[in-house]
Chains A and B, each alone.
Chain A
């Protein structure tokens, strides 16, 4: 599975009601009301476990985390293992 499909599957299972297929790769999680301040902590825990990366506090920014596309680029940049 690609990074994108893993993230999409996680979002679908935990935050959306089977609608993650319709979620555009660049659609904002905040706009869509998918996550909030505690949801983001769960996503970070998932990313750290799944891809073996460490997300620093100062990386908790929308440009790294606020869409599927942003997360894929962030994971790739951090050299996360698939």
Chain B
């Protein structure tokens, strides 16, 4: 049997398995698509991308919602030998432009309904860029090079079956953009071998099989959402894909109708489900696995989740995009290891070091290091930031991931999160860089100074609060600031609260002191 080495081989192998060509691979907002259809459409798109100049290792930006064209685009890019970069569909024009330029994308695959953001980004893209959009094409086209093409037509008119033959496992498969404390997002470089490995490790500890029906309401642009798709295809299972958790009643109906067996969520989603359960009891007996990551799942949530998902194992996990996933807690140990995010995922190793690089005894706090095939190659175009996160390992030349997060480890090797070493805010499970929000605020006419902090919030984990000094004559109000931010930032980055101040407290060196701000609320 041919071993699985490349991410897209998972699709080829699953589609080739006896009877699988007609097996449903995805149910997208209720509509089923088979493995045969996915391979057919993706290999046609692959040929079309090559026809438009895509070469081995070229980047393809996928700025799409959780849709069928998005999944076809991902596998089409891989089959063509390209590197995909999925951009959150909430991204606004300026940031999209940054990602298109930073990644050097040759092709942008997008949705017509996102024209308001992608059209303004196109003129400033430095390299030639072909644009293919699903759905309704924008009436006014402003791509300076080539006209925007229709996704369906492009796929339909291309020959099927094109697969790049020159890709090997250490080649890049994806650039996954993530927020950084410096303000601009950075592209995490992941190879085929690390992603195939990570998906396999997750499948193993989650005890998944080809019979599973995995729900995904998380954006595929977010690696937690992305891996629901990758695991499904690697298993030959079925993914029940929804655009978001915005309309919970629709998701609950779909879970019942599709007999979903795996529910991946973040604490904000679980808080909403638990609150709904408090008004009208909910029960999803088909679900056998519930997973949580991105932010800590409070122990009291687990009690409620056991009522709502009576047959499910509940997995608490921890990870970061730079290595996909670090640890998981065996569900059977939830009661004996409260507050822990568990041990290293299969095939990997974790350890704590002190700030000066010395081993840390059990029970004491240290910085978490991660070793394994899942660790990123580095950040695209940012060797400086890569050196901050990747440190020399045990073997000569080896690099391990320094998470920059503080943990405690007990004598059995179980991890307990203690805090972050940077000022990234985790809200709704998403990472938000205060600098990025502050930059957006500073770009609003009439804003003199801004400082952004995270404050504890029962639903969001942390809520974003902005302290702003406005020019008195601007007359800016908090509501105006909010809408101005909404035009510049993804929804989850828009501050929940704006506090207008006459001035902001400063440190001796003249920098805004966030510590003083929080002390004198």
Contacts and interface: CB of A to CB of B under 8 A. Distances in A.
B452 to A, nearest CB: 18
A40 B247 contact: yes
A52 B316 CA distance: 41
B428 interface: yes
A49 interface: no
B243 A30 contact: yes
B483 A38 contact: no
Contacts of B116: 32
Contact of A17 (B252, B280, B483): B483
Contacts of B246: 30, 35-37, 39-40
A21 interface: no
A81 B276 CA distance: 26
Interface string A10-38: 00111111100000000010111101111
Contacts of B90: 33, 36
Contacts of B491: 33, 35-36, 39
A65 interface: yes
Interface residues of A, number: 28
Nearest to A36: B491
A22 B341 CA distance: 47
Nearest to B483: A17
Interface string B156-184: 00000000000000000000000000000
A58 interface: yes
Nearest to B90: A33
Contacts of B250: 60-62
B248 interface: yes
Given A17-B484, A17-B486, A62 B247 contact: yes
A23 to B, nearest CB: 11
Query: Which applies to chain A's interface (DSSP): helix, strand, loop or mixed?
Result: helix
Contact of A16 (B65, B276, B428, B483): B483
Nearest to A12: B483
Contacts of A65: 247
Interface string A38-79: 111100000000000000111111100110000000000000
B483 A14 contact: yes
Contacts of B272: 37, 41
Interface in B75-130: 89-90, 113-114, 116-117
Given A33-B491, A37-B244, A37-B268, A13 B483 contact: yes
Contacts of B487: 16-17
Contacts of B89: 33
A55 B279 CA distance: 12
A14 B492 contact: no
B428 A38 contact: yes
A46 B458 CA distance: 21
Contact of A18 (B65, B482, B483): B483
Interface string B207-227: 000000000000000000000
Interface string B241-260: 00111111110100000000
B460 A57 contact: no
B486 A13 contact: no
B113 A32 contact: yes
Contacts of A28: 113
A77 B272 CA distance: 26
Given A32-B113, A36-B90, A57-B276, A14 B249 contact: no
Contacts of A38: 268, 428, 459-460
Given A15-B483, A66-B247, A36 B113 contact: no
Contact of B249 (A13, A32, A59): A59
Contacts of A57: 248-249, 276, 279-280
Contacts of B459: 38
Contacts of A39: 246, 491
Interface in B46-93: 65, 89-90
B245 A37 contact: yes
B269 interface: yes
13 contacts: A15-B483, A17-B483, A18-B483, A30-B244, A32-B116, A33-B114, A33-B117, A33-B491, A37-B248, A40-B247, A57-B249, A57-B279, A58-B249
Given A16-B486, A32-B113, A57-B248, 20 more contacts: A15-B486, A18-B483, A30-B243, A30-B244, A30-B246, A33-B114, A33-B117, A33-B491, A36-B246, A36-B491, A37-B244, A37-B246, A37-B269, A38-B460, A41-B272, A58-B280, A60-B249, A60-B250, A62-B250, A65-B247
